[in-house]
């Protein structure tokens, strides 16, 4: 879960000389950052270093990352016409540098751990394109969605097709699993999820059914949506820390795998506290196969690296029965 980044000194050193987008768009640099957590933490998988927003640019939606403020979209989509104006793109051309990174990472990893690719789900990607950046209430997104449902569905369906193709291209380039981030979908209730989101997210998972790699479907604040997310698709469903893991797994269904769900802010506290948190997560998983231990969301920049190392060691030595 965003295992590379500013909490690591070796990442901060690279960021002194390169912007986040430079790193994402330069295969040598993105490869190096992808491997940093594998070396430093001994985690069980590498996560492709990239960003969820990269596909916006070839859709004709320009953006940048502003220091201390996060993503900033130049001209957010605010009308029906704006939604209709996005461009289609061929990921093998427009995002060829991402595919090149995948190949370089795989050459360097040489089978040591698997590599996970990822992309944003239509709702979460749309929320950035429409809000223009971070949002507390997703007012612009919901206003377009509720006010112009047909335009929303046409737009979300096109985004789903483009993202499915992008993930397919990542799989062809060599990733061994893909994660679909619907980070902000927890802002919706189950009925609206079913109406406005589920058909589009389902299109992505349906397209990847025969791809031969497992799919992970993740969101935050999704306690009341886990059943609906399962129905949209994903061999693994991610859950955040707001819901106990066993309850989340019941809602998802025990025939699917689950990923989660330690609160990443626990890592800011003392070891006895976060290791007790890890114990609680592992106890609720009950040693059942199909649990991927993970944080419930991204790691925070202030996190001490030695806490993360300790956590990984602790989970690795946890007795499974
Ligand atoms: O785990 C990894 O090593 C892969 C790295 C990764 C990044 N972005 C790099 C990044 C991943 C998996 C993402 C996905 C992503 N990007 C998501 C979905 C994941 C989630 O957390 O829900 C989202 C919503 C984004 C959009 C995004 N990118 C935001 C909101 C921000 C600003 C956050 C902040 O802390 O400032 C980013 C910037 C970003 N993407 C950073 C990293 C490492 C911050 C570091 C930097 O500025 O150098």
- One DSSP character per residue, 101-116 reads HHHHHHHHHTTSS-EE
Q: Which backbone phi and psi does 177 adopt, to 5 degrees?
A: -160, 155
Q: Among 249, 241, 244, which Cα is nearest to 221's?
A: 241
Evaluate if residue 242 carries a pLDDT over 70.
yes
- The CA 51 to ligand 1 mean position distance, Å, reads 6
Q: Which of 31, 60, 28 is nearest to 46 (CA)?
A: 31
- pLDDT surpassing 80 at residue 236: yes
Residue nearest to atom 47 of ligand 1 (CA): 20
| CB-defined site of ligand 1, < 6 Å | 2-6, 15, 20, 47, 49, 51-53, 65, 70-71, 118, 181, 183, 297-298
> What is the tally of helices (H) and strands (E) in the chain?
15, 9
For 20-46, what is each residue's pLDDT tens digit?
Answer: 999 999 999 999 999 999 999 999 999
Which range has the worst mean pLDDT, 12-16, 51-55, 66-70? Answer: 66-70
Which atom of ligand 1 lies nearest, measured to the CA of 184? Answer: 22
* Per-residue confidence (pLDDT) for residue 88, from 0 to 100: 98
Strand partners, 236: 216, 257
- Percentage of the chain modeled with pLDDT above 90: 98
Mean pLDDT of 279-307: 97
191, pLDDT greater than 80? yes
Measured CA to CA, the distance from residue 62 to residue 45 in angstroms comes to 31
- Is residue 195 predicted with pLDDT exceeding 70? yes
**3-state DSSP of 211-267:** CCCCEEEECCCCCCCHHHHHHHCCCEEECCCCCCHHHHHHHHCCCCEEEEEECHHHH
pLDDT at residue 109 in the model: 97
Taking residues 102-112, report their average pLDDT. 98
Average pLDDT over the chain, rounded to an integer: 97
Whole-number pLDDT of residue 69 = 87
Determine which helix (DSSP H) or strand (DSSP E) holds 119, and give its type and residue range.
Answer: strand 115-120
Q: Residue 68: pLDDT above 90?
A: no
For range 243-258, the mean pLDDT: 98
Asked whether the predicted pLDDT for residue 232 surpasses 70, the reply is yes
Q: Give the pLDDT band (50/70/90) at residue 67.
A: confident
Q: Which residue owns the Cα nearest ligand 1 atom 1?
A: 2
Answer positive or negative: Cα dihedral of 53, 55, 60, 64: positive
Domains and CATH numbers, the chain: 9-238 (3.20.20.210)
The residues assigned a catalytic role are 2, 6, 15, 51, 128
C-alpha 246 – ligand 1 centre gap (Å): 28
Q: 80-86 long-range contacts, Cβ below 8 Å, gap at least 24?
A: 80/144, 80/148, 80/151, 83/144, 83/148, 83/151, 83/152, 83/154, 83/155, 84/151, 84/154, 84/155, 85/60, 86/59, 86/60, 86/61, 86/129, 86/155, 86/158, 86/159
- Torsion sign, CA atoms 278, 283, 289, 290: negative
Residue 119 CA to residue 168 CA, distance in Å, equals 11
pLDDT of 321 above 70 = no
Mean pLDDT on 132-143: 97
Phi and psi dihedrals of 255, rounded to 5? -85, -5
CA–CA distance, 281 with 263 (Å, rounded to integer): 10
């Amino acid at each position: 879960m965003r295992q590379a980044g500013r909490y690591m000194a070796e990442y901060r050193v690279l960021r002194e000389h390169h912007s986040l987008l430079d790193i994402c768009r330069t295969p040598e640099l993105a490869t190096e950052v992808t491997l940093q957590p594998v070396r430093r933490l001994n985690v069980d998988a590498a996560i492709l270093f990239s960003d969820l927003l990269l596909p916006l640019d070839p859709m004709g939606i320009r953006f940048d990352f502003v220091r201390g403020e996060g993503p900033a979209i130049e001209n957010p989509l605010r009308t029906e016409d704006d939604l209709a104006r996005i461009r289609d793109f061929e990921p093998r051309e427009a995002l060829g540098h991402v595919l090149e990174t995948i190949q370089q990472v795989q050459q360097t990893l040489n089978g040591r751990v698997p590599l996970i690719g990822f992309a944003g789900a239509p709702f979460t990607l749309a929320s950035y394109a429409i809000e223009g950046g971070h949002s507390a209430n997703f007012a612009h997104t919901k206003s377009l969605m509720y006010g112009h449902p047909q335009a929303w569905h046409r737009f979300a369906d096109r985004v789903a097709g483009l993202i499915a193709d992008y993930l397919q291209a990542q799989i062809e380039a060599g990733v061994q699993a893909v994660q679909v981030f619907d980070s902000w979908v927890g802002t919706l209730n189950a009925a609206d999820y079913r109406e406005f989101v589920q058909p589009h997210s389902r299109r992505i998972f349906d397209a990847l059914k025969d791809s031969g790699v497992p799919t992970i479907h993740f969101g935050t604040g999704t306690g009341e949506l886990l059943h609906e997310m399962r129905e949209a698709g994903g061999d693994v469903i991610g859950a955040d820390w707001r819901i106990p893991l066993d309850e989340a797994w019941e809602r998802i269904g025990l025939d699917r795998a689950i990923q989660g769900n330690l609160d990443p802010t626990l890592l800011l506290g003392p070891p006895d506290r976060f290791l007790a948190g890890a114990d609680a997560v592992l106890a609720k998983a009950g040693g059942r196969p199909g649990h991927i231990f993970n944080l419930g969301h991204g790691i925070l920049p202030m996190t001490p690296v030695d806490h993360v190392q300790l956590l990984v060691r602790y989970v690795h030595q946890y007795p499974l029965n």
